[in-house]
Chains A and B, each alone.
Chain A
Amino acid sequence: AQSVTQLDSQVPVFEEAPVELRCNYSSSVSVYLFWYVQYPNQGLQLLLKYLSGSTLVKGINGFEAEFNKSQTSFHLRKPSVHISDTAEYFCAVRIIQGAQKLVFGQGTRLTINP
């Protein structure tokens, strides 16, 4: 079975500061990795995904993430955040072959302060 751990339930940062949201996963088989963002009372929007190839993945809204196989991590980063980045962020994995279901982490609430 797969599991995803987001180490920080809440991350407060000031506007224009850099941010890193941490994600570690556990799986006995190869997985795809995803980051989703959820704004209040909305569904999830895909930020970026890692399928294969370059371990540094760039997504929408200036976010990027780096896949580290040895540390089984997929941390999300942004060099300079904006007020509009305030949201809940979810890391998720899916096995490459077989069941299509996503396994989500617990989520990280990112709050941007002016």
Chain B
Amino acid sequence: GAVVSQHPSRVICKSGTSVKIECRSLDFQATTMFWYRQFPKQSLMLMATSNEGSKATYEQGVEKDKFLINHASLTLSTLTVTSAHPEDSSFYICSAKIGGGDSQPQHFGDGTRLSIL
């Protein structure tokens, strides 16, 4: 149980393109989803916390107009990288938390490797 599906797994596109990444909780309802960015050989850095039906909370230094987050349902959150540039190339990972208590862990998707040419 607690499976999180992330799609696509890999994206290669031209500079200036907008890219949408989907994160779905397949067998549970996720009241909160998280978006992380991971540079090569580094740790995960939280970009934003996404709550169903409300605006996402962005971490300091993350441009909300650049990284649009939509959490329209209890099983789906999307991250759109608008007008992507080479410096946006990275590994993006989402996670979802089961509702019903602070002690519930986050479950992670398999990540999306974004390469901007």
Contacts from A to B (Cβ < 8 Å):
32, 34, 36, 41-46, 49, 51, 90, 96-97, 99-102, 104-107
Contacts and interface: CB of A to CB of B under 8 A. Distances in A.
Nearest to B94: A43
Given A44-B108, A104-B44, 15 more contacts: A32-B102, A41-B110, A41-B111, A42-B111, A43-B6, A43-B93, A44-B95, A46-B105, A46-B107, A49-B105, A51-B103, A101-B34, A102-B46, A102-B106, A106-B43
A60 B43 CA distance: 22
Interface of B: 4, 6, 32, 34, 42-44, 46, 49, 91, 93, 95, 97, 102-103, 105-111, 113
A101 B56 CA distance: 13
Q: Interface of chain B, helix or strand or loop or mixed?
A: strand
B63 to A, nearest CB: 18
Given A34-B105, A46-B105, A101 B49 contact: yes
Contacts of B108: 36, 43-45
Given A49-B105, A97-B102, A100-B97, A41 B43 contact: no
A42 B110 contact: yes
